[in-house]
Amino acid sequence: MSYIQNPILKGFNPDPSICRVGDDYFIATSTFEWFPGVQIHHSKDLKNWRLVARPLNRTSQLQMKGIPDSCGVWAPCLTYDNGVFYLVYTNVKSFDGVWKDTPNYMVTTTDIYGDWSEPIYLSSRGFDGSLFHDRGKKWYVSMLVDHRNGRFFGGIEMQEYDPLQKKLVGDVHYLTEGTDLGLTEGPHLYKRGDYYYIVLAEGGTEYGHAMSIGRSSSIFGPYEFHPKHPFISAAESEGNPLQKSGHGDLVETQNGDWYAVFLVGRPLTTRGNCTLGRETAIEELEWKDGWPWLKSGGRVPRERIPKPNLPEHTFSHNGSMVNFDAHMVPIEFQSLRIPMTEDWCSLTARNGYLRLYGKESLTSLHQQSLLARRIQDFHIVASTEVEFQPQNLHHMAGLVFYYNAGHYHYVCITSNPDGSKKMLNVISSDNYKMSFQEELEDVTGVESVVLKGEMNREILQFSCSTDGKTFKKIGRELDASILSDDHVRDGRSRYRPAFTGSFVGICCQDLAMNEHHADFKWFDYQEIKYLQNQSNEKK
């Protein structure tokens, strides 16, 4: 029997919203401060998935300069109706303190692989908005932010959307406050048989996370909840490899089978740090007495589930090596808060190279010159070849393992204060507390340097090569577990956001003039398990 291996979307891919159009399945996931906004993956068999689009690729759709870490794009909802795709998303502007600024928008397209419309403003009353199409009407459903007396989560409300006026109209209907798990968010509505169903994310997006479902004979409620609620959760199974399960969506196949997709986390240790962020998993459902249940029994998701009765459809592997000799940056890469534009990220300034013009520091929430991709396995090796001629200590360029502006490990080329020597340095930041390698590696006179980082679960080791063959370790072993939601959130405000995952990429800083450049010849990302599997297959 063929199986689906969970998670189906590895690495930072939370808050999945699934949409089927004929024989094609699409999942949209959150991207927070990373630009372009929203990841859309495509599949035909629910097993094999490929990243195909990031629809929010213009600042007119997504303005994020200056937003805090883990704000930006939250919980997109992807739906389809009468030839049109609809994408609802929140662009969170601020989240500290009592007040929350959470404007919600919608964009549309008839071609999911093409350009999307300019955004339509919906509401700022809450976040995690979704759109439900029902018998000619469209309903916008969202959680409600209640700032009074520390409540915050105020339940779920709904309002009609008028596609002709392109705005919400009519009365706001309060649907439910959720269950006793609390922290109710991430609503999606469905219609099956005589009932309307509402799926909710509850319990908080950590180890108490869950997926609840209620039903009502009227779309306006009242909603009764699953007799064994929550119907998906690993909160009481701390040894399960898939933790934090919740915030999901349902889909019916063309054969009438039902599945749920939802976010999960894979901790390094029991209830420990999840360096890969929140990922997307899938489970098969069955309906009994008008309620969905996990087909396996219970509520705990599995690492492997039987593949559905759909023809298997695989995608070709793009390869790990990226040579910067193309006309566009590969889709796996994203930037922080701002689009990739020629003024800081150029594939034409020098043939065969990607040129990054140094901008602000790794602490900046505005203008960083950084390109990175998700880390999607526990043991990976990333490397890059860079040519850089720093003139002072304000010039840096290199390879960075990044979680957010206060948590990263960075091996960089820089110089001594008077610019007479070119040096390698390792800079680490843990909750904005900076540490520097005590002894710098002198690479004066070396034109190009290969920088490498090997991240094996909680251990990260940097190395370098000046001939592209022989590598020397740079600095001590570093704690990679700080690149996780769990570490960042530890000891901080309950509602301070930390919702992304670990990235690895290239960057350049000019803290003096914002103009000195570095040239990157290639970037390589290798998952060790994948390489081992390839080797075994050849044998």
Q: Show which residues are catalytic.
A: 15, 185
For residues 35 and 372, what is the distance between their CA atoms, to the nearest angstrom? 10
Q: DSSP letters along 429-466, please? A: EETTEEEE-SSPEE-TT-SEEEEEEEEETTEEEEEEES
Total Cβ atoms within 10 A of residue 59 = 14
For residues 273 and 292, what is the distance between their CA atoms, to the nearest angstrom? 31
| Residue 310 burial by Cβ neighbours in a 10 Å radius (0-12, 13-18, 19+) | middle
Q: What is the DSSP letter of 118?
A: P
- Residue 240: which of 200, 275, 209 has the closest Cα? 209
Return the beta strands (E) in 255-377 as ranges.
258-265, 278-288, 291-294, 304-306, 321-323, 334-336, 345-346, 354-357, 369-374
Total Cβ atoms within 10 A of residue 505 = 24
CA 245: distance to chain centroid?
Answer: 15
- Residue 412: which of 401, 428, 396 has the closest Cα? 396
For 110-123, b where at least 16 C-beta lie within 10 A, e where not — what string?
A: eebeeebbebbebb
CA angle 362, 363, 367 (to 5 degrees): 70
